[in-house]
Structure 1
Amino acid sequence: MNREDETGAGAPPTPGTANAILSDLLWEVSAYVELRGEAALADLPISTASSGMLMTVYAEPGVTVAEMARRKPKSPQSISQIVARLEKLGLIERRLKKGRGVGLHLTDEGRHTAEMASERERATDDQLVGLLGKRRHETLRQLLVESRALLRSAE
């Protein structure tokens, strides 16, 4: 069976249906996962996006905004906005690095919040394993890891 047979001869891809294009499917699945993640973090002062930044600083104390922007598909401006909000909440602080640059570091409250967020995000991932099944979950995760690497290298 070829792609035309699967989607219907000449039928335009329709978001929300089986013939949706990859970008629509990724957006929709991402939105469902994001909703679950946001619900898990609802009583914390952070979103899933800012949780990701906290986790990066937790794993790499001293990382700079510029370094994060090179690795994440977000602009330096959007990363700076999230960092500014986390700083305002007292979760991260900026410290001068040796030489040039300003590194980001977690405060004690930031470390505590990052650990709580991590636990909740793991629990949400466990829910996804329950919904998708272990094999599907791992297959999807592995496809996304491989796709991320391929897309990064194509930039």
Structure 2
Amino acid sequence: MHDRARTANLLGATALAVGDLALAGAARAAGVSVSGASALVVLYWSRGVGVTELGRRVGLTQSAAARMVDSLEAAGLVERRPGEGRSVTVTSTRAGRRLARDLLTARDAPLTHLLGALDDEEHQALAVLLAKLLARAYGEIGDTELLCRFCDRGACTDDAVCPVGQAERDRPD
């Protein structure tokens, strides 16, 4: 039992460290909040999202999402456009899309560095374990957009199946 408690503790410490290295560092370098960085990545992969939906995808309330969009819009990174009826969608500007690509690159650098501690066999084993953990996390969170808000979707789906997307497809109705 002690081994499971230690493993859970190691996972928690690793998750926080990885999150700090990947998200906070990238957002800080870009001069935006972590939620703003996540929003830019969300918009990079799915253009034209309403403010409320964008907030849901990055884990913010509607009012917090509106303030975040205001900030990103003032920085010239997103723009609001009329949608259907009275709805408004948020899209990235060219500068916002460029920054989203830069954020993904900045996110990858410390993660790739950490993975350098593993040999090829360990790397493959970790990939299998992470896929299992992500599938379980989807079962708890139940929202692919929220769970994958800062994902490089191409890296996850080129020559592979996204474990979160597969967990969603496998979920009983």
Q: Same fold (TM over 0.5)?
A: yes
Paired position in structure 1 for 2:16 = 31
Larger mean Cα displacement after TM superposition, 41-50 or 113-122? 41-50
Which residue number corresponds to residue 85 of structure 1?
A: 71
Structure 2 gap segments, 5+ residues each: 144-173
TM-score, normalised to structure 1, is 0.70
| Cα gap change, 1:140 to 1:85, in 2 (>3 Å) | farther
What TM-score, normalized to structure 2?
A: 0.64
The structure with the largest alpha-carbon Rg is 1
CA RMSD of aligned residues (A): 2.9
Contact 2:38 2:58 in 1 (8 A): no
Q: Secondary structure at the match of 2:84?
A: coil
What does 1:1-155 correspond to in 2, within 5 Å?
A: 3=1, 6=2, 18=6, 25-26=11-12, 28-37=13-22, 38-131=24-117, 133-153=122-142
Cα pair distance change 1:71/1:95, threshold 3 Å: same
What does residue 149 of structure 2 align with?
A: none
The C-alpha deviation readout for 1:105-137, integer Å capped at 9, x for no partner, is 111211111111111112233123224651354
**Structure 1 contact 90–107 (Cα < 8 Å) conserved:** yes
| Residues 1:71 and 1:113: Cα distance change in structure 2 (over 3 Å) | closer
Q: Any idea what the Cα deviations from partners look like across 1:13-63, whole Å, max 9, x if unmatched?
A: 7xxxx2766xx953x333211321233454322244322110111111111
Equivalent-residue separation in structure 1 for 2:36 and 2:116 (angstroms): 26
Greater relative CO (CA pairs within 8 A, separation 6+): 2
Distance apart, 1:100 and its partner CA? 3.3
The alignment covers a number of residue pairs equal to: 138
Determine if contact 1:93/1:105 at 8 Å carries over to the other structure. Answer: yes
Identical positions, percent: 25
